[in-house]
Amino acid sequence: MQEAPDRDDGRMESQMFSHVTVGARDLEQAGRFYDAVLAPLGLKRRVVTSDGGPPALCWVAIQAPLPRFYVYIPFDGEPAAAGNGCMAAFLSPSQEAVRTAYTEGLAHGGTDEGAPGPRPHYGDGYFGAYLRDPDGNKVHIVHRGDLQH
């Protein structure tokens, strides 16, 4: 297997994702949950321009337009359902921000899937927490002490 280069052909910084999307049954409830969880991580909600699709919410890092995290009412009109084996993992600037995001998530309708703490089996300095949003989507909040953030 060939190793991936750190950058592409020099035209732009490499990024793996444009966006990640999860479904919700209640956008207002999802908005309260993700506002509370993502604010300690430095992510802000941005306005979503209607494209003719279902209503959506979006969060981005203050300093970058991509990647984006979206919460949508499903396009097919069916109720949102969490994917088995699917998870969105958000980088945190500190262990304290992991704790704050986790606590805020629980206070805003989330459920525990793993309290904040070290996860040395994932690497040196790996500190994370797991929870589910009100629709059952799995969320991971992680501070990577082994990476500069």
CATH code, domain carrying 25? 3.10.180.10
Domain that holds residue 104: 19-74+82-144
51 part of a folded domain: yes
% of the chain beyond a pLDDT of 90: 72
Residue 10 lies in a domain: no
What confidence score (pLDDT) does residue 146 get? 82
Residue 25 lies in a domain: yes
Q: In whole angstroms, what is the distance from residue 131 CA to residue 112 CA?
A: 5
Q: Does a structural domain hold residue 7?
A: no
86 assigned to some structural domain: yes
Q: What pLDDT digit, counting tens, does each position of 79-130 carry?
A: 999 888 899 999 999 999 999 999 999 999 999 999 999 999 999 999 999 9
Give the chain's end-to-end CA distance (angstroms, integer): 28
| Structural domain contains residue 68 | yes
CB 19 within 8 A of CB 119: no
Which pLDDT score, from 0 to 100, does residue 7 have? 42
24 or 8, which is more confident?
A: 24
pTM: 0.85
**Strand 138-144 relative to strand 87-91: parallel, antiparallel, unpaired?**
parallel
Q: How many residues does the chain have?
A: 149
Cβ(34)–Cβ(60) below 8 Å: no
Number of domains in the chain: 1
Of 6-10, 105-109, 141-145, the range with the lowest mean pLDDT is 6-10
The answer as to whether 149 is a domain residue is no
